[in-house]
Amino acid sequence: MTFDYLDVIGAGLIILDSEPFSFDYVPEQLVGRDEILREMALKFSPVITANGSGKAVLSGPVGTGKTSVAKRFCRDLQTKFEASRKIKYVHINCRNHSTPMQVLHKIVSVFDEGHPDRGLAMGELLSSIRKLARKDSTHVIVILDEVDRLLRKSGNDVIYQLLRIDEDQATSGTLSLIMISQEQVLDLLEGAVISRLGTSSLVKFSPYDLNQLYQIVEQRAKLTIKPGSYDEKILRLIAEGSEQYGDARRVIESLNNAVLKAESEGRSNLEMDDVQQASTQINPSMSEDIVKNLTTHQKLVSLAICRRLRKESNMTSKDVQGIYAAVCEEYMVKAKGQTTIWKIINDLEISGIISREVSNIENTRGRTTYISMPNVLPNDLATRLEMLIKAELR
Ligand SMILES: Nc1ncnc2c1ncn2[C@@H]1O[C@H](COP(=O)(O)OP(=O)(O)OP(=O)(O)O)[C@@H](O)[C@H]1O
Ligand SMILES: [Mg+2]
């Protein structure tokens, strides 16, 4: 038996190491989060200086690095202050641990894997945590990720119990708390937690901008795939495809999908098609309707753009004008003037067919506006447009 079909596994045409593609991988350096990490350091300075503790609520949209920042911060703190204070941390996803007992058991397990699971009341578990931490001379940082799950299901009691774990006790600074939640549930947190902690504990995350997304995908590409298998244009296209979301997870997934597609076709390099096709799968936003409902000249301009972007990763508005004139000639219609073309380009961006970017990424000329199609396969769209235009002009 030869197991030929397994050859695709580990063929390594492009991939060097797929571990950094995994969802819980945290890079050594986080792009664009220095300011936030400094903020965290300030909030947690009592942990080191005075046997104290810290607390923070991290909030922001999906894929903005909340979980990564929390883990990175705990690891860095642990390493840097190894000599002065023993620190352990536990990441609890409240999606899977949504009751007080599950949360407390998870914290106890940091010290004692085999701690008896059943029959203990909340107070007993809290006291176990206190004793174990003291015996171990350890400060424990508890990360309650997706904390809104816990709040919805079980209320805020366990959070208050954790915050006052040392109250009326001989111990101090047993535990720090980092709570994480997506932005839209901030209201829930506001009532339940922030009003008690004070707004000073709040750390806000913003979506990543195009440059940051570019740096994130570049960093991940260097960690996962062979240097000669891609070029900067591909990474730029990936970043542009996620710009409207500002979500780091999207650029990483999109790189991963593109790589898998190229490898499955036996290639050792990434092509623009790989990115566009992968993106059409993640986000089939380019529905038939959008294309069908374009006006004739919007279709003609789109077709002009597709024709160039079959071969190039981007183009300027000037390029569009030239090719559009040729397309109009081909279909024997009178071309619209420049102002109308500019307006059409705007409309196409709004409908998500194209993406526009004023170049501010290194290695590009001046400050020109570039048009690209990160979420559409230009070839496919061109075929559809040609059919629709022919039918309309008949
Ligand atoms: N600043 C960054 N630099 C490098 N990689 C990052 C950065 N921010 C996020 N990532 C990567 O993007 C992915 C998503 O990040 P993370 O899970 O931290 O986001 P999140 O804000 O917790 O998202 P969610 O709201 O969905 O939980 C991870 O793979 C992470 O490694
Ligand atoms: Mg997260």
Measured in Å, residue 280 CA sits from the centre of ligand 1 at 22
Closest approach atom of ligand 1 to CA 33: 1
Running DSSP on this structure, what letter comes out for residue 337? P
Tokens of 7: 């050859």
Q: Cβ(246) to ligand 1 under 6 A?
A: no
Whole-number pLDDT of residue 119: 76
Q: What is the spatial order of strands in the sheet that 86-93 belongs to?
A: 86-93, 138-145, 175-182, 55-60, 202-204
Angstrom distance (rounded) from CA 67 to CA 57: 11
- Beta strands in 152-250, from DSSP E residues, in sequence order: 175-182, 202-204
Of residues 104 and 191, the one with the higher pLDDT is: 104
Running DSSP on this structure, what letter comes out for residue 336? P
Hey, whose CA ends up nearest to atom 28 of ligand 1?
Answer: 249
Angstrom distance (rounded) from CA 151 to CA 166: 22
Measured in Å, residue 59 CA sits from the centre of ligand 2 at 10
Whole-number pLDDT of residue 171: 82
Closest approach atom of ligand 1 to CA 216: 4
Hey, whose CA ends up nearest to atom 23 of ligand 1?
Answer: 63
Closest approach atom of ligand 1 to CA 248: 12
Mark the residues whose beta carbon lies below 5 A from ion ligand 2.
67
Among 112, 80, 117, smallest CA distance to 102 is for 117
- Beta strands in the chain, from DSSP E residues, in sequence order: 55-60, 86-93, 138-145, 175-182, 202-204, 355-358, 369-372
Percent of the chain surpassing pLDDT 70? 90
Residue 336 forms part of a structural domain: yes
Host domain of residue 348: 288-393
Residue 18 forms part of a structural domain: no
Place of tokens 């106890």: 108
Measured in Å, residue 69 CA sits from the centre of ligand 2 at 9
Closest approach atom of ligand 1 to CA 23: 29
In the predicted model, is pLDDT for residue 112 greater than 70? yes
Please indicate, yes or no, whether residues 68 and 155 belong to a single structural domain of this protein.
Answer: yes
Residue 325 forms part of a structural domain: yes
Angstrom distance (rounded) from CA 291 to CA 348: 10
Angstrom distance (rounded) from CA 91 to CA 88: 10
Give the mutation target among 21, 36, 66, 68 for probing the ligand 1 site: most ligand atoms within 8 A of CB: 68
Q: Cβ(46) to ligand 1 under 6 A?
A: no
Domain count, the chain: 3
Whole-number pLDDT of residue 350: 86
pLDDT band of 279, cuts 50, 70, 90: low
Q: Which ligand is nearest to the CA of 62?
A: 1
Measured in Å, residue 209 CA sits from the centre of ligand 1 at 14
Q: What are φ and ψ of residue 56, in 5° steps?
A: -155, 150
- Residue 205: its H or E element: none
Amino acid present at 207: P
Residue 4 forms part of a structural domain: no
Q: b vs e for 144-175, b when ≥16 Cβ sit within 10 Å of the residue's Cβ? A: bbbbbbbbeebebebbebbbebeeeeebebbb
In the predicted model, is pLDDT for residue 190 greater than 80? no
Whole-number pLDDT of residue 55: 92
Q: Are 133 and 139 in contact (CB under 8 A)?
A: yes
Q: Which ligand is nearest to the CA of 208?
A: 1
Mean pLDDT of 366-389: 85
Q: Residue 161 belongs to a domain with what CATH number?
A: 3.40.50.300
Q: Cβ(255) to ligand 1 under 6 A?
A: no
Please indicate, yes or no, whether residues 385 and 299 belong to a single structural domain of this protein.
Answer: yes
pLDDT per position as a tens digit, 313-323: 889 999 999 99
In the predicted model, is pLDDT for residue 16 greater than 60? yes
Q: Cβ(242) to ligand 1 under 6 A?
A: no
Q: At what angle do helices 248-264 and 232-242 cross, to 10 degrees?
A: 130
Residue 22 forms part of a structural domain: no
Amino acid present at 272: M
Query: Which residues are within 8 A (CB) of 355 and not within 5 positions of it... i.e. 6 or more apart?
Result: 240, 241, 243, 244, 349, 371, 372, 373, 374, 375
Tokens of 78: 């642990």
Residue 24 forms part of a structural domain: no
Q: What are φ and ψ of residue 391, in 5° steps?
A: -60, -40
Measured in Å, residue 250 CA sits from the centre of ligand 2 at 13
Mean pLDDT of 144-157: 88
Residue 17 forms part of a structural domain: no
Tokens of 313: 């990763």
Q: Cβ(115) to ligand 1 under 6 A?
A: no
Residue 155 forms part of a structural domain: yes
Whole-number pLDDT of residue 7: 61
Please indicate, yes or no, whether residues 228 and 90 belong to a single structural domain of this protein.
Answer: no
Query: Which residues are within 8 A (CB) of 284 and not within 5 positions of it... i.e. 6 or more apart?
Result: none
Q: Residue 353 belongs to a domain with what CATH number?
A: 1.10.10.10
Q: What angle do CA 88, 89, 90 make, to 5 degrees?
A: 135
Q: Cβ(254) to ligand 1 under 6 A?
A: no
Whole-number pLDDT of residue 56: 94
Angstrom distance (rounded) from CA 123 to CA 184: 32
Q: Cβ(65) to ligand 1 under 6 A?
A: yes
In order of 149, 161, 282, 324, the CA distances from 188 in angstroms are: 10, 18, 30, 52
pLDDT per position as a tens digit, 48-86: 887 899 999 999 999 999 999 999 999 999 999 998 899
Whole-number pLDDT of residue 133: 92
